[in-house]
């Protein structure tokens, strides 16, 4: 690539007589629009009539340098969302051995929300539970921000008797936000089969030790419906699916006690951006899931409204 043409008369300039910005523009002290530096020098030569252009005032020469310095310093500042996370008091938090990281946040009386209600945790006896889960019985064991997933155990499952009813199901409490991870396997149950209905031997089901009318088998991570069962569901049987993280079909109780993996679809950055502007996050509507940024009382300065309200159901 060819470089810029040399400007006539430029070689005679003293070393400190003119300053070029990275984009070859000079900022005039009078406030006039920027003029390319080579045009400024060339016109000075023609106006003065001599071989050397007029010398730029040192104060005006400092202006591009100061702007460049300020621009460089701005790259060192953390992004507003990251600053909000650190200064909001929302993170870091802990509940027992669980390190609570964004986007999850800990419920604290008297404090505004740090994010959507679907990510809110309640700490009870050093154990963290999702407040929006069924009976608040979904315990979060680990959070993995790098792949947007978390390990959870559903304490609604009646496992203490050693013979759970095979008609139970696991449901996601916020399907628009969360999804079962593909890393899970699943236990497939056929329960309360009547009229002598039993699954074919080729399907891999075996009867429960405490209920010979119900059957279980371990899926392969792709059979989250009855479509994957050879021959379909036998007439007179109920079908249920329980996701598990590892485990096997023989020791299905231990597999269910180990829990399963859930992933969240997107990072809910709206609340972080709101806090970065000095506002407080609010969630209203019928299900208390519609986000808005409260900027009342000039909390947000020049920012009166962050975004159009969004629903995090």
d(CA 245, CA 249): 12
pLDDT value of residue 217: 87
Q: Which whole number is the average pLDDT over 233-253?
A: 85
Residues whose CB falls within 8 Å of the CB of residue 293, separated by 6 or more in sequence, listed in order? 270, 273, 274, 277, 279, 280, 281, 282, 300, 305, 306, 307
Give the Å distances, CA to CA, from 124 to 31, 50, 97, 106, 139. 63, 84, 12, 11, 10
Selected residue with higher pLDDT from 188 and 18:
188
Q: Which whole number is the average pLDDT over 145-164?
A: 90
Residue 212: band (very low, low, confident or very high) from pLDDT cuts 50, 70, 90: confident
Specify whether the CB–CB gap between 34 and 51 falls below 8 A.
no
Residue 270: band (very low, low, confident or very high) from pLDDT cuts 50, 70, 90: confident
pLDDT tens digits, 282-301? 998 777 778 999 988 887 87
d(CA 16, CA 70): 22
The pLDDT > 90 percentage for the chain reads 23
Selected residue with higher pLDDT from 42 and 189:
189
Selected residue with higher pLDDT from 278 and 69:
278
Buried b or exposed e, range 211-230, using 16+ CB within 10 angstroms: bebbbbbbbeeebeeeeebe
Give the Å distances, CA to CA, from 89 to 77, 123, 146, 298. 19, 16, 22, 21
Beta 105-106 vs 120-124: how paired, if at all? Answer: parallel
Specify whether the CB–CB gap between 18 and 41 falls below 8 A.
yes
Specify whether the CB–CB gap between 264 and 148 falls below 8 A.
yes
Residue 261, Cβ density class (10 Å: 0-12 exposed, 13-18 middle, ≥19 buried):
buried
pLDDT value of residue 244: 92
pLDDT tens digits, 110-144? 888 899 999 999 999 999 999 999 899 999 999 99
pLDDT value of residue 226: 57
| Res 179 pLDDT > 80 | yes
Assessment of whether the complete model's pTM goes beyond 0.85? no
Q: Which whole number is the average pLDDT over 238-259?
A: 87
Secondary structure (3-state) at 298: helix
């Amino acid at each position: 690539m060819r470089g810029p043409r040399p400007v006539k008369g430029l070689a005679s300039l003293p070393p400190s007589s003119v300053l070029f910005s990275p984009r070859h523009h000079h900022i005039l002290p009078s406030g006039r629009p920027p003029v390319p530096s080579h045009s400024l020098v060339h016109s000075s030569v023609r106006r003065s009539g001599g071989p050397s252009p007029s010398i730029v005032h040192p104060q005006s020469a400092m202006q591009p340098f100061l702007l460049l310095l300020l621009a460089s310093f701005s790259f060192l500042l953390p992004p507003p969302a990251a600053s909000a996370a650190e200064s909001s008091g929302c993170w870091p938090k802990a509940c027992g051995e669980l390190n609570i990281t964004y986007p999850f946040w800990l419920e604290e009386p008297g404090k505004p929300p740090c994010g959507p209600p679907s990510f809110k945790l309640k700490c009870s006896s050093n154990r963290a539970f999702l407040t929006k889960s069924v009976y608040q019985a979904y315990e979060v064991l680990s959070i993995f921000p790098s792949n947007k997933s978390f390990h959870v155990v559903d304490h609604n499952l009646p496992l203490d008797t050693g013979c759970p009813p095979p008609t139970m199901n696991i449901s996601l409490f916020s399907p628009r936000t969360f999804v079962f991870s593909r890393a899970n396997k699943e236990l497939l149950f056929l329960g309360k089969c009547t009229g002598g209905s039993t699954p074919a031997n080729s399907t891999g089901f075996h009867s429960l030790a405490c209920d010979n009318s119900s059957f279980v088998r371990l899926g392969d991570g792709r059979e989250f419906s009855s479509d994957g069962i050879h021959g379909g569901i036998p007439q007179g049987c109920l079908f249920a699916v329980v996701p598990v993280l590892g485990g096997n079909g023989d020791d299905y109780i231990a597999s269910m006690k180990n829990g399963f993996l859930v992933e969240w679809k997107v990072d809910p950055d709206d609340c972080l951006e709101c806090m970065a502007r000095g506002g407080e996050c609010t969630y209203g509507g019928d299900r208390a899931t519609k986000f808005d940024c409260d900027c009342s009382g000039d909390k947000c300065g020049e920012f009166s409204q962050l975004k159009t309200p969004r629903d995090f159901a």
